[in-house]
Structure 1
Amino acid sequence: IYAILFTLEMAIRFIAAGCRNYLIGPEWYWNWLDLLVVIPAWVELITDFMEHGENVSSGASNFRILRVLRITRMLHVIRSVRLIRVIHAFRELILSILDTTRQLGWAMILLLLIIYSFSILFTDAVSNEQLTDPQRLDLSNAQQYFGGVFIACETLFRACLSGFDWVDAADALKPVGEVWVQLFHIYVAFCSFAVLNVITGVFVNSAIKTREKDHETLVLHVQKFKDLVGKIWNKLDTSGDGQLTITEFEQMFKDPDMQAFFEAIEVNAVDASTLFDSLDADGDHLVSYEEFCQRCTQLHGSARAVDLFALTQQNGKVWDEVLSLKTQQQESTECLKFISQILMQHMGDPMLCVQVS
């Protein structure tokens, strides 16, 4: 059944894509994987059919071939990875796990270094105590948990991951000294509250960044946002003419769904008039569906660094223009004063001189 279904699927995709695109197209690796799955499946079916017509000895010789061919069934598991692209939540989970493998390696190295350092301390303390008095019998438990570096590493690893009740290991250090018991407590607290929590935070942060950088996730979020904007627009446009007036907007501004929508896109509107002016891109006192979608997308979220930088650049240009106008105005004033002085000299009117001055 699997062979027939996979063959039909492969044939349909081969006819739809064509020979060239199927074998060397953008998804050539999946198509070649289909071939590696389907061909051994048919070989196995043919071998099974031929086996029924032969004797037991030949069937026994073919058993080795069947055993090798059945290994190819594991490729069905790899082939099913293609479905991950359809199941979005499962796909995000797999990508997050794969992306955190690099952080996992460094986290394990850090944890092993900490465990190795503490294991040397505890092993050295127990060994020195044993060498001081070889006849002591109360060090048997300490030898059990810290008799060597490897044993101590194993004990400390289990202790920080709750692999066993670490109280027994701590009590085993009492004959060595109370200082070592407290040091063991410090190790457990440090690993449990600091190291493991930091590692967990790194994993979570890495998973979040992976989700944010994933192209298909971004496309899905944009599509969901557009669908939400479309639903709100249908509720706002009560007249159904595709244009939103200030009257319609003010009537729906206090609606709970509207307030929830603007809170979701992080738009803090003081009043309906101010928000309507922000949505009206061309200033014609009417908001179309395209303007509403465009403005909601632009107003969505908090200001980014690029937005602040662009605003700073625009303010700088405006300030330069203001200074230029100020300079031109001063030059014009000086020119007018000069012209006035010339006129006063030619007219010789003292009253005009007084008025101009």
Structure 2
Amino acid sequence: EETAKKISDVADTINAAFRSSDTTRNGPIMRRIAENIFFKTVCIVAIAANTVYMGMVADFNVKNTYRRVQGQSMVQEWETPDVVFCTWFSLEIVIKIAAYKKEFFLGEDKTWNLFDSALVAESVTSVIFKTGSGLAFLRILRVFRLIRVVRVVRSVKALRRLRTMIFAMISSFVDLMWAFLVILLILFVFGIIFTNGVSGYFEDVDVTDAEKVLQAGNVREHFGSLYESMVSLWCSISGGNDWMQYGASLRIVGDGDESYFGLFCFYIAFCVVGLMNVVTGIFVDSAVCTRSEDEVVQGYVDDLQRTTEEIKKFFQSADGDHSGTLSFSEFERHLTNPTVKAYFAGLDIDPDEAKIIFTLLDVDRSGEIMIDEFVNGTMKLKGYAKSMDLLCLMYDSTRLCKKVNKLSKSVEDMLAEFQSHRSGGAVQISRAPSKRASGAGEIPAFLPSPCGWNQVAATLGPSRPLEILNASPPPENQPPKSAW
């Protein structure tokens, strides 16, 4: 039994090794193929070629079917390109499924992947039925293949501007629908008014007068129903026909009364000057203000890169000795150039304050500016103070106040301890004692070994300007070298 168990464990280990080897050999290879730039380029070229081919097929079909109208024999449709494109797109789907497995159906791009799979299934069905039964209705489904072009625009970085325009129009589609609804409402209201007016005109027409009957027929062509009235109103503001053509019909309806014609003129002015401009403005504003997340990030990166390159060019032109650093004399001399002044003014930096600018940029106080210091400092000086700069100042002020308060408390404690050990109690906290204070010329031993000076020095750090805080306490029975 123990031997059988060992054999089973060895078999499981071998199977796991084979599965791991198969995953290492096949999985990553297929994934590398799917993510290879050459494979992606071929896919993009295939989509573009298929789009052009669809246009050629549409042009060929309309010309070929018209040959039947002329009594000529129809030319056989192209079949080989359909088979080639269908084979390639099917192979693409198979490679991606083998590379991504569940991620193909459940990953971030699952919608596009499922859509591509449906298009491939439609292509296979179209090829099979076209060669077998010749079902013409499948041509309608070819239109959906054009949506593949959106995937090309989405994936190619060089088409960023085109992608921005497409996504802007898509995102503003809701606003466009509301604009259409407003226009439809205006057409409906004015259509009812003019249709009722035409109805009253038809009631008063003298049917015995042939000319009146002919005029009524002309009016009926434009305003014979609510639908016809709305279509006529839309054509009058969209360029379908000259608006005066419909105005002449309404003048006939008025029979000498210009009220309907005047209302129609008001409708034209309201729509052309007011309604259309407002609708266009709303649509354009929605399209301009809408940018995808990657477009916002890419725009920021491009602006930052462009500004950095301009600053580096300024540094290289100012570095006369090509030492890689910029001294104050070089910096000041270069700022006298009007072009450089205009450039700094464009960055919202006052070029006349050369010394202040150099001091702010020279972070390490070496007297020379490195290119990294110059780029980073200029980027920080660009523009006006932001809320983050104000928060940094508030933070530094708060820290400084805390340190000053801690220092004051330490000094007060030391003075209190000094007064408590002072013989005679003549020393006051409000003023510093001197060597001539009443008592003697020597300072008695009153400070313990871990004295308060070390506490203050640890609070301020060794770089503080108060040198007395870093000094050692005076030895016992020895007068101080200077006054407190």
TMscore range, shorter length: 0.5 to 0.7
Structure 1 residue matching 2:289: 3-state secondary structure: helix
Render the CA deviation track for 1:195-249: whole Å, top value 9, x for unaligned: 10111111111111113xx222122222322332232233222346655444444
Change (3 A) 1:97 1:182: same
Q: 8 Å contact 1:279–1:292 — kept in the other structure?
A: no
In structure 2, the partner of 1:80 is 149
The reply on whether 1:94 has 2:181 as its aligned counterpart is no
Q: What displacement does 1:124 show?
A: 2.8
Q: What displacement does 1:106 show?
A: 0.9
Matches within 5 A, 1:255-270: 258=340, 267=348, 269=350
In structure 1, the partner of 2:243 is 166
The structure where helix makes up a greater share of residues is 1
In structure 2, the partner of 1:148 is 225
User: What is the alpha-carbon distance in structure 2 between the residues aligned to residue 228 and residue 38 of structure 1?
Assistant: 43
What is the percentage of aligned positions where both structures have the same residue? 26
Q: What displacement does 1:117 show?
A: 1.8
- Which of these residues, 85, 91, 112, is aligned with residue 2 of structure 1? 85
In structure 2, the partner of 1:111 is 183
User: What is the alpha-carbon distance in structure 2 between the residues aligned to residue 302 and residue 184 of structure 1?
Assistant: 55
In structure 1, the partner of 2:106 is 24
Higher alpha-carbon deviation: 144-153 or 274-283: 274-283
Change (3 A) 1:191 1:18: closer
- Which of these residues, 198, 215, 233, is aligned with residue 311 of structure 2? 233
Render the CA deviation track for 1:78-137: whole Å, top value 9, x for unaligned: 333221121212211211111121111111111122122222222333333443454572
Q: 8 Å contact 1:142–1:172 — kept in the other structure?
A: yes
User: What is the alpha-carbon distance in structure 1 between the residues aligned to residue 226 and residue 91 of structure 2?
Assistant: 60
In structure 2, the partner of 1:210 is 290
In structure 2, the partner of 1:349 is none
Q: 8 Å contact 1:40–1:72 — kept in the other structure?
A: yes
Higher alpha-carbon deviation: 164-173 or 229-238: 229-238
Matches within 5 A, 1:294-333: 294=376, 307=386, 311=390
Change (3 A) 1:38 1:166: closer
* Structure with greater contact order relative to length (CA < 8 Å, sep ≥ 6): 1
Q: What displacement does 1:312 show?
A: 9.8
Q: 8 Å contact 1:236–1:252 — kept in the other structure?
A: no
In structure 2, the partner of 1:125 is 197
Aligned residues: 309
The amino acid that maps onto 1:218 is V
Q: What displacement does 1:261 show?
A: 5.1
User: What is the alpha-carbon distance in structure 1 between the residues aligned to residue 226 and residue 144 of structure 2?
Assistant: 43
Render the CA deviation track for 1:290-340: whole Å, top value 9, x for unaligned: 55555555566678xxx469859978x98xx99xx9xxxxxxxxxxxxx89
User: What is the alpha-carbon distance in structure 2 between the residues aligned to residue 120 and residue 22 of structure 1?
Assistant: 55
Unaligned runs of 5+ in 1: 52-58, 326-338, 341-357
Q: 8 Å contact 1:267–1:301 — kept in the other structure?
A: yes
In structure 2, the partner of 1:63 is 133
Q: What displacement does 1:148 show?
A: 3.4
Q: 8 Å contact 1:232–1:258 — kept in the other structure?
A: no
Change (3 A) 1:167 1:245: farther
User: What is the alpha-carbon distance in structure 2 between the residues aligned to residue 3 and residue 229 of structure 1?
Assistant: 48
In structure 2, the partner of 1:273 is 354
Higher alpha-carbon deviation: 101-110 or 138-147: 138-147
The amino acid that maps onto 2:152 is L
The amino acid that maps onto 1:63 is S
| TM-score, normalised relative to structure 1 | 0.66
Give me the CA root mean square deviation. Answer: 4.6
Q: 8 Å contact 2:172–2:283 — kept in the other structure?
A: yes
Change (3 A) 1:5 1:197: same
User: What is the alpha-carbon distance in structure 1 between the residues aligned to residue 241 and residue 227 of structure 2?
Assistant: 17
Change (3 A) 1:301 1:97: farther
Q: What displacement does 1:24 show?
A: 3.2
Structure 2 residue matching 1:271: 3-state secondary structure: coil
Change (3 A) 1:161 1:78: closer
Q: What displacement does 1:163 show?
A: 1.1
The amino acid that maps onto 1:184 is F
User: What is the alpha-carbon distance in structure 2 between the residues aligned to residue 23 and residue 113 of structure 1?
Assistant: 44
In structure 1, the partner of 2:277 is 197
Larger Rg: 2
Q: 8 Å contact 1:96–1:210 — kept in the other structure?
A: yes
Q: 8 Å contact 2:104–2:113 — kept in the other structure?
A: yes
User: What is the alpha-carbon distance in structure 2 between the residues aligned to residue 153 and residue 189 of structure 1?
Assistant: 17
Unaligned runs of 5+ in 2: 1-83, 405-429, 432-484
Structure 2 residue matching 1:237: 3-state secondary structure: helix
Q: 8 Å contact 2:327–2:369 — kept in the other structure?
A: yes
**Structure 1 residue ranges (4+ consecutive) displaced by more than 6 angstroms after TM superposition:** 42-45, 66-72, 312-315
Q: 8 Å contact 1:122–1:146 — kept in the other structure?
A: yes
User: What is the alpha-carbon distance in structure 1 between the residues aligned to residue 267 and residue 359 of structure 2?
Assistant: 58
Higher alpha-carbon deviation: 28-37 or 167-176: 28-37
Render the CA deviation track for 1:165-185: whole Å, top value 9, x for unaligned: 111222223341223222211
Higher alpha-carbon deviation: 223-232 or 187-196: 223-232
| TM-score, normalised relative to structure 2 | 0.51
Change (3 A) 1:18 1:119: closer
In structure 2, the partner of 1:350 is none
Render the CA deviation track for 1:39-73: whole Å, top value 9, x for unaligned: 6667877x59xx9xxxxxxx7xx326x87887776
